[in-house]
Each structure stands twice: as structure tokens, then as C-alpha cells.
Chain A
Amino acid sequence: MVKKNYTYLIMVIPAFVIFFTFHTYPALQGIFYSFTDYKGYGNWDFVGLKNYFNVFQDGRALSAYGFTFQFAITATILVNIVSLLIAMGLNANIKFRKTLRATYFLPFILSVLIVGYIFKFMFTHLLPDMGKALGIEMLSSNILGNPDLAWIGVVILAVWQSAAFNTLLYLAGLSTIENELYEAADIDGAGSWKKFWKITFPLIAPFFTINMVVAMKNFLMAFDQIVALTGGGPGQATESISLLIYRGGFEGGEFAYQSANAVVYFIVIVVISLIQLRVLERREVK
């Protein structure tokens, strides 16, 4: 028995050491430096909580949080509505089911960055051209060049790409519902609307929870989409928190300051995920 314990330990100890060295240790370093004035090179001193106070007073950081929340919340809601609709469609008794399912899942395998570049072209050239040709005022200018509308472009790209995975999850959830339930509801004379809210939605509640939490978490970390589509612009209108940390940390010599920002960001993500889980799971139990 003692010998067996030893083998298991050999299996996990290297992983533990490597994981600590390349994940936990850098994270701790980041937290450590967030209390200093380290620029990424040279000498440094402790500055206490100064960086943290500055994050909350920094217009650029606050606007990054504002944009990231606005984008993440909108995209999470839209992605869940769109993917649930697609999943219900794919779950119906349709023709070409396999082909359609493969089609709707396709965006999942593509590089977010490259798809972003393609969408950028559509927003800057195709849509304005079409808008002018059809005389639609709203489309005739490039929305990515408008500080008030650029975020909508990011939402559209995010929904296009992320709906694939969420659809698959909902599809997995829908396939667990017995057909008899709907048949019984038919006999009782329930309409589609009622069937959805009384049968479908409650039964896929766990999948709804996962989808909301995962989508929200991913969107809060958005980086590729924004680099490809707007580069954070126009101005800093679509600068996400990840992008700000990247830029400030590597290009702006703000190692310590952006580390503090990253710690705040980390806490925000954990708190939001926990709140979501709490709220959504409580609803599930009902």
C-alpha cells in the first residue's frame, strides 16, 4: 500500500511543480508587483495600494471596464437567445439535420482573429457600399469608425463566432428531453409558447447556467476580436480590459500598474461568475 502511494505521487508531483512554476508563481508575482512601482525593468519600490487607487481614478481604465461590461452583457444575452433558437431548430424534425448542424458549428473551428479581419472588411467596405446603393442612411457609414457604434460591431462578431459552441451545448440539453412530455402537453392543449416556458426551458436550465457563465467569462476576457476589428478604437472606445493590460504592460512601461489592474480584473471575473452561478442555480431548483 505504501509503495502504491509512492507511484501516484510520482505521477502528480512533476505536474504540480511545473504548474506552480508557470501558472501560480507568475500570478503571485503579478500580485506582488501590483504593490510596487516596477516598470518591467530596473529598480522598484513598494508603493502600497497606490496602484489600486489609481486604477479606480484612471479614466482610461474605467472606460475599458465600461466597454467590457457593456459588450460582455449584450453579447452574452444575444448569444444565448440566438443559440437557443438555432438549437431548437436543429432539434426539430428537420431535413438535412447533420449538414445544418455542421454548418452552424463551423465558426467554432475558425481563428477568431482571422474571422475578425474578414468582418472588419465587411463593416468598413461592404456594408457602407450596400447602404449607399440602397439608400439606407444607417448603413452608409463605417460603424467601426463611430465611437458610439463600434462596440456593436464587436458584439456582432462575437455572437457570430460564439453561437456555435453555445448551440451545441443547448442541443445536448434538448436531446435529454423526452418527446412524451411534449405529446402529453399537446393532449392538454398547450401552445408552443407555453410548452417552451413550462417544459423546454426548465429542463435545460443547467445548460442555460453553464452557457451564461462560460459566455460571460469568455466575453469579459475578449482580446482577439478587438485586436482584429477595431484595435481598441476609435480612440479608446472599444478598448477591453485585456487589451489595456497588454498595451499598458508591454508598450507603456506600466508593469506594476497594469498588474494591479489585472488583480482587480481577476476579482471582478470571479465575483461575476459566482453571482451568476448562485442566481441561476437557485432558479434551477425552483
Chain B
Amino acid sequence: MIRYLVCIWMLSGPVIAQEADAHFVSDVAIDPTDIVVRSTTDIGVLTPALDAFVGIYPDISITYEQWGSNALYADSRAACDGQIPTADAVLSSGVHQMVDLVNRACAHPYTSDITRGLSTARVWRNELWGITLEPAVIIYNTALVPADDAPHTRFALLDLMRRAESPYRGKIATYDVEASGLGFLFAFMDSLEATTFGGLLEGFARTNAVATCCSAEIIDGVAKGEYLIAYNVLGSYLSSTPRENIGVIHPEDYTLLLSRAYMIPKTATNKDGAAILLDFLLSPQGQDILAAGNLVQRRDDDTTLLSESAQRTIAIDPKLLVAMDRHRRSRFVGQWRSTFGALPEGGFLSAP
């Protein structure tokens, strides 16, 4: 009933940051108005929700562009200054970048009964809304990692990495903070949340851990046994590429929960359409579809038995601006690079 077209460009280099795009339009649509959505989320993950959306609103079609978070931030900054045409909606996992955009007055305010129902941690200034609720998890290859070794807390992971003759040497992966906006955010929040971060960096250094760019690559690596354990992987990506031999751990000391941030740029041409899409994504129906795609972790979820205090939602508020600070960032990246070594020449093949 719904047809959509996916083009995957897989071009190397960060110059052209748009990685893929897709067009969602209803079968019964007659001359629909189009909204351009730029997002860091994989097309496949959001496809059910967008299909449902154009099914309900046949007079709206969606041009969905998938971007890397850093590129999307740069693109939105430029659009905000009026240099280039803008998207109608921006949805990014680089929440700190989105907060920065809103702080630079790049966003258009919108309120509805649905947005008013959001908790304060998931909305800022009525210009930025948290659509999803996704945990940052530890994954491991169930075939190669003994059940006793599977680290259920960061302390366990630390202990694992401190073993003298660790079989995990060179087999632990995580996001690179420079290549991935999301990876930076998770690492930065870790550095704020607990003192374990210093120990983790030291452990990563000791075990020659690998910092790489992308969720898909990390998950594939773990599935193939290239990596045994991956730290701070966005849990939602696992559902889009289900693997039998991957174990998922919600760290019991604390689990970061990310809300992908949705913004309507102030220069958007179809703000109304973007607002309708926002209301749909936040509506019970939209949230149900997202939950089915593992994008919204429900409080009463049986698969995670985490206490309330262990669930740390990354609040969408100005405190995230600290992550954007030049000095703070360069210091943090410096610390990171001293652990993982220099960024590969020319960056990673594909941005996150």
C-alpha cells in the first residue's frame, strides 16, 4: 500500500554528508505537500512510523534524508544563518547539538496538547522535543563471551579490562567521540555521571580498545566476532538488525537514556506539516509504533529490571551546552585521543 524509495549513496568522505534518502507518500495521495525531514536515524528504523503517518495524512508526503549528526549540525547552523535552504524538521541523536541550535535561536516554537504532556526533561522552550527513549547498552557476542564474563555493570567491565592476560585485548569497541556526535554525547555524559569514566578510559587504553564511527559497523563487528564487547551502543539499532548471537546488557549501575531531539527550524517552509508530524510521533499511536521498533523504552518494560535511579535520561536542557564548549570539548577530546590515538586519516569510511 505504501511505496517508498530508498537511495543509498555510500559515498566516501565527509564532504557530502547526506548518506541516504527516502520518499514516503500515500497511495491515495493527490498532489501532497512535502515536508523535508533531516535525521540521523536510520531510515529503516523510522520507516514503520513514517508509513503510518502518510497513511493517516495522505495530503502530506515526507522526503526523508539521513545525515551524520555532525554534518547535520553544520548544515542546520548554515541554514539558520540563511546561507542554504533548510529542512522542515530536524531529528537528531546529537541532542547537545540540537540544544545549541535552539540556544542560537534557530528553532520555531510550537505547542499543542500533546507537547504540553511531555515531561520537562523531554522538552525545552517548546522548541525542542524528545521523541524517543533509547538506552545506551553494552552488547557482547554470546558465542564468544562466557556468561560469567558478561559485564552487567561498568565495574565488571573495568575488572574485565584489568585482567593481566585479557582475551578482550583489541576486541572492545565503542563510538569515536570525534566521528560521532552521539558517541561524544554518551562519553561526555559518562564523564559527568560517575568517576568510573577515568577508569574506563584507562581500561580502554590498556586493552587497545577500538573507537569507531557507526552503530551498524559495531553491531556487525560484534556479530562476526571481530569485537567481543561493545560499550555504549544505542540499543534501538539492535532491533533493526536482529542478531541471535548478540547479548544486550543494560548496565545496572546506571543506564543512559537518550531522547532523539526534534526541532522545527525557524526558516522551515512547511512548519505546519512538521508540527503535524511532531504531534503524530508524540501521540500514543506514534509512540506505540516507535516502541515496537525499540525506539521508546517503556517504564514497565519487562526486559530491563532497572531501578528508577539507574535510568538516567539525558535531559534536554541548557546544561548540555557544556558539551558544546570549545575548551571543554578540546580537553575532553584530547583526553580521548591520548587513549585511542589519532583519528584515522580521512576519517572513517562512513559517518555515524
Are these two chains actual partners, yes or no? no
